[in-house]
A and B are shown apart, each in its own frame.
Chain A
Amino acid sequence: MIPAAFDYMVADAAEAAIAALAEYGDEAKLLAGGHSLIPLMRFRLAAPAMLVDIGRLDDLSYIDDAGDHIAIGALTKHRTLEMSDLLAAEAPLLRHVAGEVGDPSVRHRGTLGGSLAHGDPASDLPAALLASGGSLVITGPNGERVVEAPDFFTGFLETALADDEMVTEIRVPKAGGVGWSYQKFNRRAQDWAIVGAAVMLGPDPKVALVNMGSVPMRHRGVESGLAGGAGAAAASVAGDDVDPPEDLNADAEYRRHLARVLVGRGIAEASA
């Protein structure tokens, strides 16, 4: 399994990458850590004509205290997130979930921006960002715009990114001391979640589900139950108003069951 032939360039700055995207349009793909894109290319599910390598843009790898939120460079690797004391104090859900992605060798290469831009509903990090109330800074030829996480994920492996835009920063509101939980159910240690649930309590509680639909999603029904003081009982509707996928691991009804169980466990753990 070898990728189809492509042209390759190394971007020495975000502006150069965006210029290349503007020139090649949907023929081009950005390459960061490559741990989502290269497998797709090897299976020939993706065959970009031009690969723009942004993996050397070290100035987009950072975790900064920005006052009311933590600002994270899009090229920050999962392993760096996992080891961050700042995230442990101020965004512990995101730090924990970064350590749940793949395995250590995968986390040495994979990047936060790359995982989010891939938009896979079975991935861990989109749910963490949704439950954290985070947003993404998107940069294009005309400058920056900020997109809230729920508006970013638009379809199966589709996002709000235009062909000539890239994610440059991820912003996560500070949540030190707020109850949180991430529940991931799978059969083998390093697999994707069959179903997962990210829970963040506080005055505006948020619950996001993994692999329960075609997009990474928040579950508004559970959230309104939580906001109304239902506690773990709010999990009873976690299987409602969702359209989970079916595959050899689980049919839709089993996934609905898992969602109720995992959200319930998540709320209980976050409340403890």
Chain B
Amino acid sequence: MEVSMSVNGETRTSDVEPRTLLVHHIRDALGLTGTNIGCDTSSCGACTIHVNGESVKSCTMLAVQADGTEITTIEGLAGDDGELHPMQAAFMECHGLQCGYCTPGMVMAATSLVAENPDGLDETAVRQGLEGNLCRCTGYHNIVKAVLSVGGTA
């Protein structure tokens, strides 16, 4: 069936099988391979994107459920001129990545978390807020540092 969604600000219309998972649609049909597939069971968060501004695990959503929504993937965060989003810059600055596999999902979960907490987050809130995103390099310390540098309480 035909689905249409705004992906990183651009309307994308495609014909999909109802059983197509959103993450496969994004990667295979739309060609946006920055969103990774990790555990495939909504545990690891590697596939985290934004649906209507909120973090969602795209391995546990059907593409047809996203019809009419606004999707943002990691490719949509940086400015048109290539300037990194503040969260991306913070991950770079704080060395918040090692192998990088979890990074797109981590950044998308973190931006959603910060947006939901305009009054700022403390370290515990960041760690709990990212509990659905696993880093198997175990580089959590610098990831938390990066998120706090953007959305921490002063």
**A residues adjacent to B (C-beta < 8 A):** 1-8, 10, 31, 34-35, 38-39, 41-42, 51, 53, 55, 79, 102-106, 108-109, 189-190
Chain B interface residue count, Cβ-Cβ cutoff 8 angstroms: 32
Query: In terms of DSSP, what is the predominant structure of the interface of chain B?
Result: mixed
Question: Could you give 16 example pairs across A and B, Cβ below 8 Å?
Answer: A1-B41, A10-B67, A34-B62, A34-B65, A38-B61, A39-B42, A41-B19, A102-B132, A103-B131, A104-B112, A104-B113, A104-B129, A105-B54, A105-B55, A105-B56, A108-B54
Considering only CB atoms, which chain B residue lies closest to A83 in the complex?
A: B116
Please determine whether A105 and B65 come into contact, CB atoms closer than 8 angstroms.
no
Considering only CB atoms, which chain A residue lies closest to B131 in the complex?
A: A189
CA distance A104 to B139 in the complex (A): 20
Residue B57, interface by CB 8 Å: yes
Considering only CB atoms, which chain B residue lies closest to A36 in the complex?
A: B60
Please determine whether B56 and A6 come into contact, CB atoms closer than 8 angstroms.
no
CA distance A106 to B51 in the complex (A): 12
Considering only CB atoms, which chain B residue lies closest to A3 in the complex?
A: B19
Please determine whether B40 and A105 come into contact, CB atoms closer than 8 angstroms.
no
Contact of B61 among A34, A51, A104 (CB under 8 A): A34
Contacts of A53 in B (CB 8 A): 64-65
State whether A106 and B42 are in contact (beta carbons under 8 Å apart), knowing that A38-B60, A190-B131 are contacts in the complex.
Answer: yes
Contacts of B67 in A (CB 8 A): 10
Considering only CB atoms, which chain B residue lies closest to A105 in the complex?
A: B55
The 6 closest A-B pairs by CB, nearest first: A103-B132, A8-B18, A189-B131, A108-B54, A105-B55, A3-B19
CA distance A188 to B47 in the complex (A): 20
State whether A5 and B17 are in contact (beta carbons under 8 Å apart), knowing that A53-B64, A109-B61 are contacts in the complex.
Answer: yes
Please determine whether A8 and B109 come into contact, CB atoms closer than 8 angstroms.
no
Give, as a whole number of angstroms, the nearest-CB distance from B132 to chain A. 3
Please determine whether B18 and A108 come into contact, CB atoms closer than 8 angstroms.
no
Give, as a whole number of angstroms, the nearest-CB distance from B59 to chain A. 8
Please determine whether B57 and A106 come into contact, CB atoms closer than 8 angstroms.
yes
Contacts of A8 in B (CB 8 A): 1, 18, 62, 64
Give, as a whole number of angstroms, the nearest-CB distance from A52 to chain B. 12
